[in-house]
C-alpha cells in the first residue's frame, strides 16, 4: 500500500523520467516488475516519487547502464533504505559483530563486510560496486580501506588458504576496488601544495591497490595533488620522474620481500628543496638513512600531509 507523506518532497513520473533521461514506460515497467515505483499517494489519489524513491531509481539506472541485469540491479537498488533508518530485524535478534551500520543522522546504513564477502563469493560485481560506492560516499576513502576493503581481502585470503581456491574472487574484488578508487585521483581545484606527491610500486612489485587508496585519500580528503606511477616501476624511470616532477614527497610500496630491495633508495635524486622519501608495505628490509617506513594508511596520510604544511 503506498505511503501517505503529504509534507515530504515528491515528484511526478514525468519529472523523474526527465531527470534521468528515461522513457516513462520504462519507469512503469520497473514499478510493475520490481517494485521500484512511487511510494507516495497524495490526497487527490496521485502517485508521487519521494526522495528515497528517486535515489533508488538513480541506483537502478546506474547499475543497468553499467551492464547489470535489471532484476539484479533492482535487488541492489531496493536495499537503499529510508534516510536515518536501520535495517529491520527481529527485536530479539542482536546485531552481528561484523555488521556495520551508519550512526544516527547518516543517510543510509552501510553494507556489512559479510554481505560484501558473500557477493564476492558469488562473483556479484554489481553488488560489490554498490557497496564500495556506499562506503566511500558515507565514510570516505581511509575508513573504507581499513574497515571494508582490508577485511574482505582477509576473508578471501582465508578461503584461499583453506580451499586452495579463490583467485577469481581476489581478481574480481581487486578490479572493483581499483575501479572505485582510480577516478578519485584527479588534480584538486586548489591543491594544498604546489608540488605533487609521487607514488609508485617497487621495481618488481605488482600490488598497486594500496597506492590508489593512499592517493585517493590524499586527493579527496586533503586536496593533495598525486601522481600514481603504478606497478613495477624501474628505479631508473623513478629517478627520471623525480627529476621531472620535483615532488614534495615520494612514496614506494612493496608487498612481498622479494620486491623490497632498499639499496636503490639511497641513489634516488636529491632535490632542492628536498623530497621526503617514504615506503610502505611489509616487503622492505633495512632502509637507508632518511627513508621512513610508514606502517598504515593513516600513518601515511598523516606523515605526508605533515611534509606539505
- Cis peptide bond prior to 108, omega within 30° of 0: no
pLDDT in tens, the chain (309 residues): 454 444 568 889 999 998 888 898 899 999 999 999 999 988 888 899 998 899 889 888 888 887 778 888 888 888 765 443 333 333 233 333 334 433 333 345 578 888 899 889 888 888 898 889 889 988 899 999 999 999 999 999 998 888 888 899 999 999 999 999 999 999 998 999 999 999 999 999 999 999 999 999 999 999 999 999 999 999 999 999 999 999 999 999 999 988 999 999 999 998 888 899 999 999 998 999 999 999 999 999 999 999 998
Entry pTM: 0.70
Query: Contact 212/144 with Cβ under 8 angstroms?
Result: no
Q: Which fold has domain 10-79?
A: Multidrug-efflux Transporter Regulator; Chain: A; Domain 2 (1.10.1660)
Single out the residue of 304, 196, 198, 210 nearest to residue 259, CA to CA.
Answer: 210
Domain ranges of the chain: 10-79, 113-182, 186-308
Q: What letters, b where the CB count within 10 A reaches 16 and e where it falls short, cover 226-246? A: bebbebebebeebeebbeebe
Match domain 186-308 to its CATH number in 3.40.630.10, 3.40.50.280, 3.30.360.10, 3.40.50.1360.
3.40.50.280
Amino acid at each position: 500500500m503506498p505511503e501517505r507523506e503529504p509534507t515530504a518532497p515528491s515528484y511526478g513520473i514525468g519529472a523523474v523520467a526527465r531527470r534521468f533521461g528515461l522513457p516513462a514506460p520504462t519507469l512503469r515497467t520497473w514499478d510493475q516488475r520490481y517494485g521500484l515505483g512511487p511510494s507516495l499517494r497524495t490526497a487527490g489519489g496521485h502517485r508521487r516519487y519521494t526522495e528515497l524513491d528517486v535515489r533508488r531509481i538513480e541506483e537502478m539506472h546506474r547499475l543497468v547502464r553499467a551492464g547489470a541485469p535489471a532484476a539484479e540491479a533492482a535487488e541492489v537498488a531496493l536495499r537503499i533504505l529510508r534516510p536515518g533508518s536501520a535495517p529491520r530485524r527481529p527485536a530479539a535478534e542482536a546485531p552481528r559483530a561484523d555488521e556495520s551500520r551508519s550512526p544516527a543522522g547518516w543517510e543510509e546504513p552501510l553494507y556489512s563486510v559479510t554481505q560484501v564477502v558473500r557477493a564476492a563469493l558469488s562473483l556479484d560485481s554489481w553488488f560489490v560496486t554498490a557497496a564500495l560506492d556506499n562506503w566511500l560516499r558515507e565514510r570516505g576513502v581511509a575508513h573504507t580501506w581499513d574497515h571494508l576493503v582490508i577485511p574482505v581481502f582477509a576473508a578471501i585470503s582465508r578461503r584461499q588458504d583453506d580451499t586452495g581456491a579463490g583467485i577469481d574472487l581476489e581478481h574480481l574484488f581487486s578490479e572493483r576496488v581499483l575501479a572505485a578508487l582510480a577516478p578519485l585521483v584527479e588534480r584538486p581545484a586548489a591543491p594544498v601544495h604546489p608540488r605533487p606527491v609521487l607514488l609508485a610500486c617497487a621495481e618488481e612489485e605488482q600490488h598497486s591497490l594500496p597506492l590508489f587508496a593512499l592517493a585517493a585519500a590524499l586527493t579527496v580528503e586533503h586536496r593533495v595533488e598525486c601522481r600514481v606511477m603504478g606497478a613495477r616501476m624501474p628505479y631508473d624511470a623513478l629517478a627520471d620522474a623525480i627529476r621531472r616532477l620535483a615532488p614534495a614527497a615520494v612514496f614506494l610500496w612493496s608487498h612481498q620481500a622479494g620486491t623490497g630491495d632498499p639499496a636503490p633508495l639511497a641513489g634516488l635524486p636529491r632535490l632542492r628543496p628536498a623530497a621526503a622519501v617514504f615506503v610502505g608495505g611489509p616487503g622492505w628490509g633495512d632502509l637507508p638513512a632518511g627513508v621512513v617506513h610508514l606502517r598504515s594508511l593513516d600513518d601515511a596520510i598523516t606523515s605526508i600531509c605533515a611534509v606539505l604544511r
